[in-house]
C-alpha cells in the first residue's frame, strides 16, 4: 500500500504540509480535506513510510489516522518507530492514538464493549489542542480498543463516560492523541480541534492558496515537459477542462488537445468544447468525429459492462490513431499524455482497491489507456480534490458553466439509454436531458444539486394523447446531492418544477408519454442507472 503524493506530481514548493499516515480509516480522505480547508496542504502516505521519506516533504506536522485493526492483531499496520525523531508535532486519531501511545509505553486493551456513535466529551484542559472547545461537547466514537494505562509522562486532556483518556498529550514529546474522530460532522467542534493542531500546535500560518498551487504546478509542468509536446484527451468535463487550461497556461502551443466525438454526447456538447477551448483559450484542438464507429460497435448490445468495454476499446483505437498523427507532424516530440486524475483516484488505487478502480477507469475518457500507447503520463491534478479542481478552474479563468458542470459519465449517453443503443433513442434522451437542465438552471437549482440527468428506460407504457391511446417510452429523472459521490441522497426538487419538466418532456419530445422521478439514495442504488 503506497500513497506518496510526490510520485509524478510533486507537492507544491514552500507550502506548509501535513502528512497523514493512513492506517485504513474510512475517514482518512476526510482528514485530508479538513486540513486543506483549514489552510494547510495535506498528503496521505502509507503508514510504514520510512522516516527519511517523510523528511523529504519537510512536514509541519503528522497525523496518524484511525483504522479497523487492533494494535494487537497479527499484521496490524505499524509506522516507523522513529517517527517522533522527526521533531514535528504528531496527532494520533483513534487507532493512531492507540499506536502512538503504545509506542510511548502506554497500555492499550480491548474496551468492555465496542463504542460506536455519539458520546459526551468532558474537557479537562482547555489550552493547546482543545483551546476554546466547550467544557462539554459531543464527539463521534468508533473503537474497540482504548488506552487504559497512562504513565506520568502523559496528561489527560479530556474524557467521556466510557473512555477515561479520550484526549491526551505527552508532557515532553510533541505527541497528542484523540480517541474520537474530529474530522466527521458528528463531532461539532472537530474542525476547531484540527485547526488548533495546525495553528497552535504545529505553528502553521495558513499559506495553502490555490493561486500559489497554480504557480507551483506551472513550474513543475515546465520542468517535466521541457521542449516536448503534450497531448491531452479533452472530454469537456471539469477535470479534463482544467487540465487543458492549466497546461495551456504552463506550456502554451506545446499542448495539443484531442476531443473524440463518439456520438454519445449531450446536445451541442461538441460545439461547447470547440467554442471554449479553440476560441476562448486558443488551444490547438483536434476534433475527431468517430460517431459511426462507436454506434456500429454498440449495435445490438444491451449489457452495461459490455457497452463500457466496447466504448473504452474503440476510444483507445481512435485516440491512438489521432495521437500518432499529432506525433508525426514534426513539431517536436509528443512525449507526454495528460490525464485528469484527481487525489481520490490516487487514494483509491493506492489502498488495495485496484480491481474496483480499474472498473471505474474502464469507462473514463482516457483512463485505462494501454502502456504501449508510447507516452509518459502527466497528471497535474493528482494532488487535488474535486472542489479544489473547481477552485483552480476559477483561478485559470474557465467560464462558470465549465467549472461548475455536473459530472458526465465516460460512456456518455450509452449508460443513460438502458438496453440497446440506437440513434433515435439517443436523440430522444438528448432532447429530454436538455429540457431537464434548462428547467434546473432556470429555477436556480443547478448549483444546489450535484448531478442531474435523464434516463431512457427499456419499457413502454400506455398513455392517452388527444383522442388516441399511445404506447411510448418512459423517462426517469435522476437528481442527487452529495459531497464526495461515494454516497449520495436524492435531491428534493420542488414538485412544481418536476411538473413543468414532466409536462415539457411529454409534450415536446416525440415518443415520451410518462416521466418518473428516482428517489433512491446511494447506497444501495448507484447514481447512474448502468
- The answer to whether residue 280 is catalytic is no
Helix or strand holding residue 471 (H, E):
strand 468-481
Q: Which of 9, 16, 79, 94 is catalytic?
A: 94
Of 385, 486, 379, 503, the C-alpha closest to 439 is 503
Q: How far apart are the first and last CA of the chain?
A: 30
Point out which residues pair with 431 in neighbouring strands.
none
Helix or strand holding residue 346 (H, E):
helix 343-349
Residues in the chain, how many? Answer: 530
Hey, what's the cell of 356? 474496483
Cβ pair 510, 472 in contact under 8 A: no
Q: Which of 143, 181, 189, 364 is catalytic?
A: 181
Cβ pair 119, 97 in contact under 8 A: no
DSSP code at position 121: E
Of 140, 74, 70, the C-alpha closest to 102 is 70
Residue entry with cell 480509516? 25
Of 153, 157, 155, 107, the C-alpha closest to 137 is 157
Of 186, 189, 168, the C-alpha closest to 177 is 168
Hey, what's the cell of 435? 429540457
Q: What are phi and psi of 465, to 5 degrees?
A: -130, 120
Point out which residues pair with 434 in neighbouring strands.
none
Ordered alpha helix ranges (H), 161-303: 190-195, 210-225, 238-251, 269-273, 291-298
Q: Quickly list DSSP for 36-67.
A: HHTT-EEEEE-TT--HHHHHHT--SEEEE---
Residue entry with cell 472542489? 387
Q: What are phi and psi of 320, to 5 degrees?
A: -60, -45
- The answer to whether residue 183 is catalytic is yes
Residue entry with cell 394523447? 465
- Measure the CA dihedral 293/299/305/311, to 10°: 10
Q: How far apart are CA 65 and CA 26, in angstroms?
A: 9
- The answer to whether residue 376 is catalytic is no
Q: Quickly list DSSP for 194-231.
A: HHIIIIIIS-------HHHHHHHHHHHHHHHHTT-EEE
Q: Which of 57, 106, 165, 183 is catalytic?
A: 183
Q: Answer positive or negative: Cα dihedral of 508, 509, 511, 515.
A: negative
Q: Interior CA angle at 477 toward 473 and 482, to 5°?
A: 155
Hey, what's the cell of 282? 486558443
Q: How far apart are CA 399 and CA 422, in angstroms?
A: 33
Hey, what's the cell of 26? 474510512
Active site residues: 94, 181, 183
Amino acid at each position: 500500500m503506497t500513497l506518496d503524493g510526490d510520485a509524478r506530481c510533486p507537492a507544491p514548493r514552500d507550502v506548509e504540509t501535513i502528512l497523514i499516515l493512513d492506517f485504513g480509516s474510512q475517514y482518512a480522505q476526510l482528514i485530508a480535506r479538513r486540513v486543506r480547508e483549514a489552510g494547510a496542504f495535506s498528503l496521505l502516505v502509507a503508514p510504514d513510510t520510512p522516516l527519511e521519506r517523510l523528511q523529504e516533504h519537510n512536514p509541519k506536522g503528522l497525523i496518524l489516522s484511525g483504522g479497523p485493526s487492533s494494535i494487537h492483531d497479527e499484521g496490524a499496520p505499524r509506522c516507523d518507530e522513529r517517527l517522533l525523531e522527526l521533531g514535528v508535532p504528531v496527532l494520533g486519531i483513534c487507532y493512531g492514538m492507540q499506536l502512538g501511545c503504545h509506542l510511548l509505553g502506554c497500555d492499550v486493551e480491548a474496551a468492555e464493549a465496542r463504542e460506536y456513535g455519539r458520546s459526551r466529551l468532558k474537557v479537562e484542559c482547555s489550552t493547546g489542542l482543545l483551546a476554546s472547545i466547550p467544557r462539554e461537547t459531543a464527539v463521534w466514537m468508533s473503537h474497540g480498543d482504548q488506552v487504559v494505562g497512562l504513565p506520568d509522562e502523559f496528561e489527560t486532556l479530556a474524557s467521556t463516560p466510557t473512555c477515561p483518556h479520550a484526549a491526551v498529550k505527552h508532557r515532553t514529546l510533541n505527541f497528542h492523541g484523540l480517541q474520537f474522530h474530529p474530522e466527521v460532522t458528528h463531532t461539532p467542534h472537530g474542525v476547531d480541534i484540527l485547526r488548533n493542531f495546525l495553528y497552535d500546535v504545529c505553528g502553521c500560518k495558513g499559506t495553502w492558496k490555490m493561486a500559489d498551487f497554480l504557480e507551483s504546478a506551472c513550474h513543475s509542468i515546465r520542468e517535466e515537459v521541457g521542449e516536448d509536446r503534450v497531448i491531452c484527451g479533452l472530454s469537456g468535463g471539469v477535470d479534463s477542462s482544467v487540465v487543458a487550461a492549466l497546461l495551456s497556461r504552463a506550456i502554451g502551443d506545446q499542448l495539443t488537445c484531442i476531443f473524440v466525438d463518439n456520438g454519445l454526447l449531450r446536445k451541442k456538447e461538441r460545439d461547447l468544447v470547440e467554442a471554449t477551448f479553440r476560441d476562448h483559450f486558443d488551444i490547438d484542438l483536434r476534433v475527431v468525429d468517430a460517431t459511426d464507429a462507436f454506434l456500429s460497435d454498440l449495435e445490438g448490445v444491451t449489457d452495461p459492462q459490455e457497452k463500457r468495454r466496447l466504448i473504452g476499446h474503440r476510444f483507445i483505437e481512435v485516440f491512438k490513431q489521432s495521437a500518432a498523427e499529432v506525433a508525426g507532424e514534426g513539431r517536436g516530440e509528443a512525449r507526454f499524455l495528460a490525464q485528469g486524475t484527481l487525489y481520490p483516484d490516487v487514494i483509491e488505487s493506492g489502498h488495495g482497491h485496484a480491481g474496483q478502480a480499474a472498473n471505474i477507469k474502464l469507462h473514463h475518457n482516457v483512463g485505462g489507456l494501454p502502456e504501449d500507447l508510447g507516452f509518459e503520463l502527466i497528471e497535474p491534478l493528482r494532488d487535488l480534490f474535486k472542489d479544489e479542481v473547481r477552485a483552480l478552474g476559477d483561478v485559470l479563468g474557465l467560464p462558470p458553466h465549465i467549472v461548475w458542470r455536473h459530472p458526465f459519465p465516460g460512456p456518455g449517453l450509452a449508460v443513460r439509454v438502458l438496453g440497446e443503443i440506437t440513434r433515435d433513442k439517443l436523440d430522444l434522451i438528448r432532447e429530454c436531458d436538455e429540457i431537464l437542465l434548462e428547467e434546473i438552471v432556470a429555477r436556480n437549482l443547478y448549483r444546489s444539486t450535484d448531478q442531474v440527468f435523464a434516463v431512457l428506460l427499456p419499457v413502454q407504457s400506455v398513455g392517452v394523447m388527444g383522442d388516441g391511446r399511445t404506447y411510448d417510452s418512459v423517462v426517469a429523472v435522476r437528481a442527487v446531492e452529495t459531497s464526495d459521490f461515494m454516497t449520495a441522497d436524492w435531491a428534493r426538487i420542488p414538485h412544481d418544477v418536476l411538473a413543468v419538466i414532466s409536462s415539457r418532456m411529454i409534450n415536446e419530445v416525440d415518443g415520451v408519454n410518462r416521466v418518473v422521478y428516482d428517489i433512491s439514495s446511494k447506497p444501495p442504488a448507484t447514481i447512474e442507472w448502468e
